[in-house]
Amino acid sequence: MHEARSKFCCLLIEFCITGLHAGGKGHSSSGPLVTVEEIVKEHWAKYGRNFYTRYDYENVDSAKADKVISTLKAKIGEITQVR
């Protein structure tokens, strides 16, 4: 798993660096560099703002995780009963 993640990270870095040349718009890698800010602003202008959050729950105690889920389910039940 870690080898695949490491390989993916290396490919992602290579992709990002390549994309920084001429904005990744089909130009050769000898084109002018663009800033990350320019890429982000162009992305936001075209697609709007978006967010991504990743949570890794490896090595979590199962009993504690089950308690969290049970509590959340109970809270959801309370909320739906109020409506």
Cβ(42)–Cβ(23) below 8 Å: yes
The range of the structural domain enclosing residue 36 comes to 2-82
Query: Residues 6 or more apart from 83 whose CB is under 8 A from it?
Result: none
pLDDT tens readout for residues 16-70: 666 665 555 554 556 677 777 887 888 889 988 877 777 777 788 899 989 999 9
Total number of domains in the chain = 1
Residue 24 per-residue DSSP state = G
DSSP string across 25-43: SS--TTSPB--HHHHHHHH
- pTM, two decimal places: 0.33
pLDDT of residue 5: 67
Higher local confidence (pLDDT), 49 or 7: 49
pLDDT of residue 64: 92
pLDDT of residue 67: 94
Residues 31, 36, 37, CA angle at the centre, nearest 5°? 120
pLDDT of residue 20: 63
